[in-house]
Amino acid sequence: MSNPIFTQQSNDSSFETLWDELNWRGLIHVSTDAEELRTLLDGEPITYYCGFDPTAPSLHLGNFVQLLLLRRLQLAGHRPLGLVGGSTGLIGDPRPTAERTLNSPETVAAWVTRLQAQVSRYVDTEGENGLRLVNNLDWTAPLTAIEFLRDIGQYFRVGTMIKKDAVSARLNSEAGISYTEFSYQILQALDFRELHRSYGCMLQTGGSDQWGNLIGGVELVRRSDSASVHAIGTPLITNSDGTKFGKSEGNAIWLDAEMCSPYAMYQFWLNTDDADVVDRLKVFTFLTRAEIEDYATQVAEAPFRRAAQKRLALEVVTLVHGAEAAAAAIAASEALFGQGELSTLDSETLRAALRELPHAEAALGTGVAQLLVDTGLCASLGEARRAIAQGGVSLNNVKVADEQAALTEALPGNVAVLRRGKKTLAGIFLA
């Protein structure tokens, strides 16, 4: 069933061409011939693709940039192919530091199914130019090693392959690089040739860190089939301070609600820096140029209102998880900070929100002072009693006046919310 939000999405008619809008939104970092692409994308529908490797059970915000680009091209009438790499996922794109852990074929197959469902959620599967899902295991599994080396390998030069950034970094490290990961770029190039032959695919998109692999496919099609195809590399999204966007060490912002709750995602976007929020609106929402320019003015004139961040968080969580989940995340955010009624919140949303805070397990009857210590809001019972005496503690948004007060009732989901001061919160999960 088609996602109802698709009916609310459109490209911005104020731009002369799609290429102009993609550039304004900051989605083009590098490409093959820009003028040819401008003409191609403004002409008759073409088939294009992006690949996603199942190296985890969910896609993340870096992949979301590609999904939104696929959708924008689709809105212009072009025909998307969503490739989930059942074969490349068995190997993994080389990382700069060390070999990937090779997942079992059964695990990769299960992740292929999960990622295909995710891609289908964000790119429309219906209509004349509906999304078609493809799996590169379908054409690589039948290949013998001899066929791979003889029919594909002849078009690649080792000197060129070892110059690619990830390969070069690994060659210069103590770990080196295995032939398994070294061969990844050939497999990805083969995908483009197969899709060009089977579907007339003319364009591949991907992150700019994949540029060497994207060009490998362009070159393979040119050498083996004497045909001209194209590639677009989107910029790697970074924060204004140069840090990597949306991913700390071991903690990506996943699109799967079980791996990153709608509330956690809402808070992530709500905390966007003023210096970054306008660029995020351009990339991650379907707001028009006029709307985004209005938010840029608001950021400059009244940054304390956080209007742009609130709209960004609303738009992205609605895109990823739906309007109901976005509304629940907003209600939880407001109630936790004293602007709404905690008892009316959806229990699962409230539990998910509290898991993002310092939290502890406790039984009914536990003293509030002890809860302050258990959750880390106070360092000792003495400090906790002083905080209560000074009127700076509340439980479930009700001020605690008695130093001997205890937890006597729970909120929906069998939880409680503890606060010290205006903004320091913790969650209590009843044992």
| Confidence band of 150 (pLDDT split at 50, 70, 90) | very high
- At 104 the pLDDT is 94
196-211 pLDDT, tens per residue?
999 999 999 999 989 9
What distance separates the 2 farthest-apart alpha carbons in the chain?
Answer: 82
| Confidence band of 169 (pLDDT split at 50, 70, 90) | confident
Q: What whole-number distance in Å separates Cα of residue 354 and Cα of residue 416?
A: 9
CATH architecture of 4-236: 3-Layer(aba) Sandwich (3.40)
Nearest-CA neighbor of 281 among 24, 53, 36, 57?
24
| Confidence band of 249 (pLDDT split at 50, 70, 90) | very low
Q: 2-6, 29-33, 364-368, 421-425: lowest mean pLDDT where? A: 2-6
Q: Which letter does DSSP use for residue 45 in this model?
A: -
| Residues making up the chain, counted from first to last | 431
Q: 20-34, 82-96, 260-274, 404-418: lowest mean pLDDT where? A: 82-96
Q: What is the average pLDDT across 168-192? A: 88
| Confidence band of 410 (pLDDT split at 50, 70, 90) | very high
Query: Does 319 have pLDDT greater than 60?
Result: yes
Contact (Cβ atoms closer than 8 angstroms) between residue 353 and residue 261: yes
- At 174 the pLDDT is 79
- At 160 the pLDDT is 87
Query: Does 333 have pLDDT greater than 70?
Result: yes
Give me 427's structure tokens.
């969650």
| Confidence band of 251 (pLDDT split at 50, 70, 90) | low
- At 194 the pLDDT is 98
Residues forming beta bridges with residue 232, ordered by sequence position: 31, 205
- The answer as to CATH 3.40.50.720 being correct for domain 357-431 is no
Q: What is the average pLDDT across 250-266? A: 88
Query: Does 76 have pLDDT greater than 90?
Result: yes
Q: Tell me what the pLDDT averaged over the chain comes to.
A: 93
- At 250 the pLDDT is 52
Q: What is the average pLDDT across 259-280? A: 95
Q: What is the average pLDDT across 27-33? A: 97
Query: Does 42 have pLDDT greater than 80?
Result: yes
- At 162 the pLDDT is 87
Query: Does 337 have pLDDT greater than 90?
Result: no
| Confidence band of 1 (pLDDT split at 50, 70, 90) | low
Residues forming beta bridges with residue 82, ordered by sequence position: 50, 133
Query: What's the CATH class of domain 238-346?
Result: mainly alpha
87-101 pLDDT, tens per residue?
999 987 777 777 778
Query: Does 248 have pLDDT greater than 50?
Result: no
Q: How far is CA 386 from CA 76, 365, 381, 392, in A?
A: 63, 20, 9, 9
Q: What whole-number distance in Å separates Cα of residue 119 and Cα of residue 96?
A: 27
Q: What is the average pLDDT across 72-91? A: 96
pTM, entire model: 0.91
- At 429 the pLDDT is 97
| % the chain with pLDDT above 70 | 98
- At 168 the pLDDT is 84
Q: How is the chain split into domains, by residue range?
A: 4-236, 238-346, 357-431
3-state secondary structure of 337: coil
20 CB neighbour count, 10 Å cutoff: 14
99-139 pLDDT, tens per residue?
778 899 999 999 999 999 999 999 999 999 999 999 999 99
